[in-house]
């Protein structure tokens, strides 16, 4: 579908979904965003749903300003995927050992490595820039400086919530590796620190929603936020790079006879800010639950833990600020999912997937998410499908 335009106070709201299907709370957030004095455009993805401050599944383009709550607290959260030389025929009938080995190699939830992982131990992993990255930690907000030791040990860890590591197969039988994670606790603490700073600034006192507090250009607060924001986005990128190296290492060891090789990795943020130019203006484009989908750019749009995911290529639609959805999108809250579904429902909806099926992940049940096929169909003018993947192993945080 092409977008539907809904009137907004400062800019029209371009929606790649039926406005009537969007929950009232999320629609209210979108209307609030459209009142911001600095806004130049607002695009809404088909996986849109209510979030903190700004909706998940929104692309906000502003001139000379950025809203930290519209980035989200997991700065740089995103996806990585790689196609392997393995095929479905190489996989054993019982995948529990493979899942166990992945869980032993990549800490999940609040877990961390006993000592920081040295990236140079992985053959073929580019290590240029890592040292300078950690040196720049000295320039981030004082409020998080004491967290450096934990941040180094959490590099290469999954986290919790909807983060996951998966082994998938595509329609040709090829095996893919895929993962979803972000900047771990250090990104969250940086985000919360700067949101607090923004909410106290004088120019934000008259906003319709205090969670939409912004930093404006040419101020020390904006400079400090941009520094920490881009550092945390880089942390998230390195975190996924290191996890993928750990995952490849497990696969090499478990499938030693097959001597697996790996194609070039696909990686994309879906909670981040980018400096981009549209209609002759330099804008700060915030994607919260959205990926960049410039012409020919590869992206990843995952479904829930039992339905599969898509590798896509962007079509470069500037009406959407070269963006696409970041996933299926929730259709109910975590608490609502826990009330509605049981572990039996989880077992039924994840049949054929080697994964946790206990009460701790019921809130991630496929039924709590929108149908991924419909989400993909609603953005045919944003991306083209390259491959459809179906998970056979899913490790949840």
Single out the residue of 387, 341, 369 nearest to residue 162, CA to CA. Answer: 369
Residue 15 among known ligand-binding residues = no
Residue 165 among known ligand-binding residues = yes
Q: Say whether 49 is catalytic.
A: no
Residue 203 among known ligand-binding residues = no
Residue 302 among known ligand-binding residues = yes
Residue 180 among known ligand-binding residues = yes
Residue 74 among known ligand-binding residues = yes
Q: Which two tokens stand for residue 43?
A: 């695009």
Single out the residue of 119, 185, 181, 192 nearest to residue 151, CA to CA. Answer: 185
Q: How far is CA 57 from CA 11, 45, 298, 316, in A?
A: 17, 5, 18, 18
* In the block, residue with structure tokens 């709590």: 368
Residue 250 among known ligand-binding residues = no
Residue 220 among known ligand-binding residues = no
Query: What are phi and psi for residue 344, nearest 5 degrees?
Result: -65, -45
Give me the catalytic one of 49, 193, 194, 326: 326
Residue 304 among known ligand-binding residues = yes
Q: Which two tokens stand for residue 30?
A: 């979108």
CA end-to-end distance (rounded Å), the chain = 34
Residue 327 among known ligand-binding residues = yes
Inter-helix orientation angle 220-254/184-199, to 10°: 160
Residue 270 among known ligand-binding residues = yes
Q: How buried is 150 (Cβ within 10 angstroms: 0-12 exposed, 13-18 middle, 19+ buried)? A: middle
Residue 166 among known ligand-binding residues = yes
Residue 93 among known ligand-binding residues = no
Residue 335 among known ligand-binding residues = no
What are the strands, taking DSSP E only, across the chain?
4-6, 13-15, 39-49, 56-62, 65-66, 78-87, 164-170, 174-181, 215-216, 266-269, 271-278, 281-288, 290-292, 298-302, 309-314, 323-325, 354-355, 383-396
Angstrom distance (rounded) from CA 65 to CA 225: 11
| Widest Cα–Cα separation across the chain | 65
| 3-state class percentages of the chain: helix first, strand second, coil last, to nearest 5 | 35, 25, 35
Residue 193 among known ligand-binding residues = no
Positions marked active-site: 326
Annotated binding site: 74, 162-166, 180, 270-271, 302-305, 309, 326-329, 396
Annotated binding site for GMP: 162-166, 270-271, 302-305, 309, 326-329, 396
Annotated binding site for Mn(2+): 74, 163, 180, 270
């Amino acid at each position: 579908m092409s977008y539907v335009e809904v009137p907004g106070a400062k800019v029209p709201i371009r929606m790649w979904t039926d406005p009537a299907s969007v929950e009232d709370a999320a629609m209210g957030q979108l209307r609030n965003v459209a009142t911001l004095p600095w806004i130049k455009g607002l695009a809404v993805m088909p996986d849109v749903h209510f979030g903190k401050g700004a909706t998940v599944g929104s692309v906000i383009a502003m001139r000379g300003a950025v809203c930290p709550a519209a980035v989200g607290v997991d700065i740089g959260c995103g996806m990585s995927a790689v196609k392997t030389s393995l095929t479905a025929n190489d996989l054993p009938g019982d995948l529990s050992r493979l899942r166990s080995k992945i869980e032993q190699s990549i800490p999940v939830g609040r877990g961390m490595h006993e000592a920081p992982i040295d990236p140079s131990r992985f053959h073929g992993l580019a290590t240029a820039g890592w040292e300078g990255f950690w040196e720049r930690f000295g320039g981030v907000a004082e409020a998080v400086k004491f967290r450096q030791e934990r941040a180094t040990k959490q590099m290469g860890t999954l986290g919790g919530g909807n983060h996951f590591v998966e082994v998938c197969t595509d329609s040709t039988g090829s095996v893919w590796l895929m993962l979803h994670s972000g900047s771990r606790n250090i990104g969250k603490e940086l985000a919360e620190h700067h949101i607090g700073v923004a909410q106290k600034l004088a120019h934000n006192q008259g906003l319709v929603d205090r969670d939409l507090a912004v930093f404006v250009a040419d101020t020390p607060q904006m400079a400090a936020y941009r520094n920490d924001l881009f550092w945390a986005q880089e942390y998230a990128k390195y975190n996924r790079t290191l996890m993928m190296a750990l995952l490849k290492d497990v696969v090499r060891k478990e499938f030693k006879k097959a001597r697996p090789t790996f194609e070039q990795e696909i990686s994309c943020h879906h909670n981040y800010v980018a400096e981009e130019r549209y209609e002759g203006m330099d804008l700060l484009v915030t994607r919260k639950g959205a990926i960049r989908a410039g012409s020919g750019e590869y992206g990843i749009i995952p479904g829930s833990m039992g339905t599969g995911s898509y590798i896509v290529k962007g079509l470069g639609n500037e009406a959407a600020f070269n963006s696409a959805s970041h996933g299926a999108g929730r259709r109910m809250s975590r608490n609502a999912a826990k009330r509605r579904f049981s572990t039996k429902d989880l077992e039924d909806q994840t049949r054929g997937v080697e994964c946790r099926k206990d009460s701790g992940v019921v809130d991630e049940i496929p039924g709590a998410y929108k149908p991924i096929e419909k989400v993909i169909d609603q953005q045919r003018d944003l991306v083209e499908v390259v491959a459809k993947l179906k998970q056979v192993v899913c490790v949840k945080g």
